[in-house]
């Protein structure tokens, strides 16, 4: 098995057959926007392949002026191969691939007091998943009106430049993004397009 870039016509196949089948519509960036980010050097789509067969995927979002920190945007495993440990394998392979060059940032949504029990249980499982992958919680942040924990493969001596670059990846127009988010702070409200139920860029 190997990680390879997903490009060209394979990008549309991945989007139509995998991403949009695994994630809710309001969580899927439009394909045109993903392609635009790729063209700007801000986004990469990687597939885990066994020969020509796609087993899973990860997408990486970055600030092209400084790629010392890279954000994991989507992580998924094809339906036939789920629950077999491939998600964790993809994360570990990414860490190895980026070692010495970039720090992989991972956001995981925090449980919400009073929210649906099943949804909170899913959030807890995701937090534990990244801990099993060897990541450590570093700080909280907010986006789309929700609190997330940011996980890192290791804690640097100084988190300030990491948090600054994390915020820069989203761009200055995202008023719903706050990095870091203090323990007593509330997340900023979701962006106007989200409140209207729109799914246009940028989706969360």
Indicate whether 87 belongs to any domain.
Answer: yes
The contacts of residue 80 (CB under 8 Å, 6+ apart) are: none
CB atoms within 10 A of CB 199: 14
**Tens digits of residue pLDDT in 19-38:** 999 998 888 999 999 999 99
Whether residue 190 is predicted with pLDDT greater than 90 in this model: the reply is no
Query: What is the arithmetic mean of pLDDT over 80-90?
Result: 91
- What CATH number does the domain containing 101 carry? 3.40.630.30
Indicate whether 38 belongs to any domain.
Answer: yes
**Tens digits of residue pLDDT in 57-77:** 999 999 999 999 999 999 999
Q: Report cis status (omega within 30 of 0) of the bond before 202.
A: yes
Query: What is the arithmetic mean of pLDDT over 46-56?
Result: 97
Indicate whether 204 belongs to any domain.
Answer: no
Indicate whether 78 belongs to any domain.
Answer: yes
Residue range of the domain that includes 60 = 2-195
Q: How many domains does the chain have?
A: 1
User: What's this model's pTM, rounded to 2 decimal places?
Assistant: 0.91
Whether residue 193 is predicted with pLDDT greater than 80 in this model: the reply is no
Secondary structure class of 187 (helix, strand, coil)? coil
Query: What is the rounded average pLDDT for all residues in the chain?
Result: 93
């Amino acid at each position: 098995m190997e990680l390879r870039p997903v490009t060209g016509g394979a990008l549309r196949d991945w989007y139509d057959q995998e991403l949009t089948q695994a994630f809710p519509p309001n969580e899927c960036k439009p394909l045109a926007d993903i392609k635009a980010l790729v063209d700007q050097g801000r986004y990469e789509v990687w597939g885990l392949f066994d020969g020509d067969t796609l087993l899973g995927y990860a997408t990486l979002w970055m600030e092209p002026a400084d790629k010392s920190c890279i954000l994991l945007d989507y992580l998924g495993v094809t339906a036939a191969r789920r629950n077999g440990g491939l998600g964790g394998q993809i994360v570990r392979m990414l860490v190895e691939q980026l070692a010495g060059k970039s720090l992989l940032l991972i956001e995981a949504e925090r449980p919400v007091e009073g929210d649906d029990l099943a949804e909170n249980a899913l959030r807890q499982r995701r937090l534990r998943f990244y801990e099993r992958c060897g990541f450590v919680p570093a700080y909280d942040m907010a986006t789309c009106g929700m609190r997330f924990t940011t996980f890192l493969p290791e804690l640097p001596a100084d988190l300030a430049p990491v948090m600054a670059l994390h915020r820069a990846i989203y761009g200055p127009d995202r008023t719903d993004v706050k990095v870091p988010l203090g323990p007593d702070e509330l997340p900023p409200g979701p962006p106007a397009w989200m409140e209207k139920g729109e799914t246009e860029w940028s989706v969360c």
